[in-house]
Structure 1
Amino acid sequence: MVEANQNGFYYHGRINFANPKAPEFYWPGTSVDFIFRGSKLLKILLEDEKGKNYFNVILNNQHTKPYILKCQKGKKKYAVYNNLDASKSYSVSIFKRTETDEGYTKFMGIELDNGANLAMVKRAYSPRIEFFGNSITVGMGNEDPTGRDNMNPAKKNNYLSYAAITARDLGLDYRCTAKSGIGVMVSWYDLIMPEMYNRVHPDKPALKHDFKSWVPDIVVVNLFQNDSWLVNMTRDPNHKKRFKQGKPTPQQIVQAYVNFISSLRKVYPKAKIVCTLGSMNAVSPGKPWKGYIQQAVNLMKKYYKDQQLYTLFFAYNNRKIGHPTVADHIKMADQLKKFLKQNILK
């Protein structure tokens, strides 16, 4: 048994290491990488809170042919490969497809054949990118082309979200801080991004994230889709809670966005921040939300002298039912990759 705290495991994401032998994964896109040699088999030991999480297990960078691991509730050992060539080395990435709604997963290590070991790899620095977003960035329902089964955890795949695709294709160290249903001013539940962005566990306010532990070079924010619905839903309890003085004015909406981006700027003073929106109906023709974001960025550039801010708005996918599909995410990734290469990664 190779326990989770042994050298050779490389972790990505906001992870709770309170117990280093059982680090807890919460966020979509959280992953652990390693290389081993001398084993015909690979077993993975996980403990899952609800039995609803899914992981991609990618062997030797075969991104299009992952082993899809469906977690069972509780502690279980999963035999994912059992007929490997023991004379060869294998690289593995265990990548969380699903999000915090599906609960936590504890990674407790791997099992190899006797005599096998992990390879110690000297890893070169890669530019870092962090995404703050909602269900679009999570990859909610992206493997459901009908749009009618979006809530099914099996249809969520952060690995094929525009965020993960962009990071992977550009060779960026990836982190995803996103939760379905969340907004800047109001969400579909009792939590908004300005209250969540600084947490290790989204539902535990006392467990604060150390922003100095991993500092991104680029931050991408894709928020306001949920706000665009809920600001008009005056009977919704979340609307009533957040807007006790009535529906927010355009000025209040712009200021809320300024306030959140300012919070990110305080913790990431040198990062390039890309303010995005889309590709759902908040960017459809006639909607004001792109304008609110542009106004907020213009204000920050003018009054705060913040010249490390950018805007990029994804094309409206015109999808009447459901969230963006994998095909939509690929288009979004292409748009974002082009923008980053032209404006930031020059």
Structure 2
Amino acid sequence: MKYFLALVLSISLFVSCNNLPKQITIKPTSEALNYMGRTVWAIDSSVAELCWSGASVSLNFEGENLKATLKNSERDNYYNVIIDGVADTILHIDTLRKEYVLAKNLQKGKHNIQLFRRTEWTFGKTQFYGFKIEGNAKLLPADSKKKRSIEFYGNSITAGHGVDDPTDQDRWDSIYSNNYHTYASVAARHFDAQYSCIARGGIGIMVSWFNQIMPELYYRHDPTDSNSKWDFKSNPVDVVVVNLFQNDSWIVNYQEHEEYKRRFTNNTPDKKYIIKAYANFISKIRGHYPNANIVCMLGNMDVTQEGSLWPEYVEEAITTLKDDKISSFFMPYKNSEGHPKIADQKLMGEALIQHIEETIGW
């Protein structure tokens, strides 16, 4: 009798385990997915577009293999595939709609996948059509909404240009860009905060190396569409970090540059002009986020080198705003060629974390 009961129990367990579906397809609109960043919805709101640096989609599941169907508008866009917190795979997305294997032969139990955009929006949009779990597939509930949120506005330092370049060449190939290793991403992960990064290499507040400045970009939902406006009211954040002026600090000295002529035709960018421009931009941010703590950051490139006047401009702009929830944070000049690498970004992230803990109390 005991043998019979044991046999029945064994058969029941076998049938139960094998009742799990062989595969499950998860659509982009599934409530089991968590998105970070300003996700754009295309094709009748059924396809998610990941555009901004650090934009991501994540999923909790059980299964042996995981696939994703993706398409990129350009060929030089890369993602980190993060399985159970380990980012050891880089995915290059093609311009043809394809199914990509993200993980295979996984052990039994719960797993988490995060598809994390390394590159900035100028390298093309990525259309996400969904995930597919294979082998004893089980869809698990999404993680609960994060209790904290942080948004960054920046240039190539914040985007992560050249951070993974092992040489001192500071190469512009997008494979060396990696927002995951930036100070911004480091700080967001430390605080387990919802993360949004609005950045473009070469951009400034008053003038850029091209015909677009941050006041013309920051409000966009879709970075490529000037008429696409982000819903700030429905998506409030707790902390905003603004790390700009690095590019402005160079271009104001090149009066023959096309963008200098375009932006300063009737105005000379003197101290008064610079302070007003910065204060105006921070005021725009405050208008959208009335309760947020704002960190006005500079560095760690030569905008903060010894003798630079730009930290003083930022401090004076903050003073004119008379806002107790606005603080300044200046990262010392790294005093080396090119953009900050992984170690530099890590130091910046740790320093920013300390500033936020001491100033805001997180």
**What TM-score bracket applies, with the shorter chain setting the length?**
over 0.9
Helix, strand or coil at the partner of 1:23 = strand
In the TM superposition, what are the counterparts of 1:1-346 in structure 2 within 5 Å? 1-19=25-43, 20-37=45-62, 39-62=63-86, 65-85=87-107, 87-113=108-134, 116-121=137-142, 123-245=144-266, 247-301=268-322, 306-320=323-337, 322-346=338-362
Task: Report the alpha carbon displacement of residue 7 of structure 1 after superposing the two structures with TM.
Answer: 2.2
The 3 A distance-change label for structure 1 pair 122 and 136 is closer
Query: Sequence identity, in percent?
Result: 38
Once residues 142 and 48 of structure 2 are traced to their aligned partners in structure 1, the CA distance between those partners, rounded to angstroms, is: 21
Once residues 31 and 244 of structure 1 are traced to their aligned partners in structure 2, the CA distance between those partners, rounded to angstroms, is: 41
Helix, strand or coil at the partner of 2:97 = strand
Once residues 116 and 21 of structure 1 are traced to their aligned partners in structure 2, the CA distance between those partners, rounded to angstroms, is: 23
AA in 1 matched with 2:304: V
Helix, strand or coil at the partner of 2:356 = helix
AA in 1 matched with 2:41: F
CA contact (8 A) 1:147 1:323 kept: no
Once residues 182 and 274 of structure 1 are traced to their aligned partners in structure 2, the CA distance between those partners, rounded to angstroms, is: 18
- How many pairs were matched up? 337
The ranges of structure 1 where at least 4 consecutive aligned residues each deviate by more than 6 angstroms after the TM superposition are none
TM-score (norm 2): 0.90
Structure 2: unaligned runs, 5 residues or longer: 1-24
The 3 A distance-change label for structure 1 pair 73 and 133 is same
AA in 1 matched with 2:82: I
Once residues 30 and 267 of structure 2 are traced to their aligned partners in structure 1, the CA distance between those partners, rounded to angstroms, is: 54
Task: Report the alpha carbon displacement of residue 246 of structure 1 after superposing the two structures with TM.
Answer: 5.0
TM-score (norm 1): 0.94
Deviations for 1:87-126, whole angstroms, at most 9, x for unmatched residues?
A: 3111111100001121100111112226623211350442
Helix, strand or coil at the partner of 1:175 = strand
AA in 1 matched with 2:36: H
Once residues 137 and 28 of structure 2 are traced to their aligned partners in structure 1, the CA distance between those partners, rounded to angstroms, is: 16
CA contact (8 A) 1:232 1:247 kept: no
Once residues 354 and 153 of structure 2 are traced to their aligned partners in structure 1, the CA distance between those partners, rounded to angstroms, is: 20
Task: Report the alpha carbon displacement of residue 243 of structure 1 after superposing the two structures with TM.
Answer: 0.3
Helix, strand or coil at the partner of 2:196 = strand
Helix, strand or coil at the partner of 2:188 = helix
Q: Which has the larger radius of gyration?
A: 2
Deviations for 1:223-242, whole angstroms, at most 9, x for unmatched residues?
A: 00000011111111111100
Once residues 142 and 182 of structure 2 are traced to their aligned partners in structure 1, the CA distance between those partners, rounded to angstroms, is: 28
Once residues 142 and 93 of structure 2 are traced to their aligned partners in structure 1, the CA distance between those partners, rounded to angstroms, is: 29
Once residues 215 and 66 of structure 1 are traced to their aligned partners in structure 2, the CA distance between those partners, rounded to angstroms, is: 32
CA contact (8 A) 1:52 1:73 kept: no
Structure 1: unaligned runs, 5 residues or longer: none
Once residues 51 and 44 of structure 1 are traced to their aligned partners in structure 2, the CA distance between those partners, rounded to angstroms, is: 17
CA contact (8 A) 2:31 2:142 kept: no
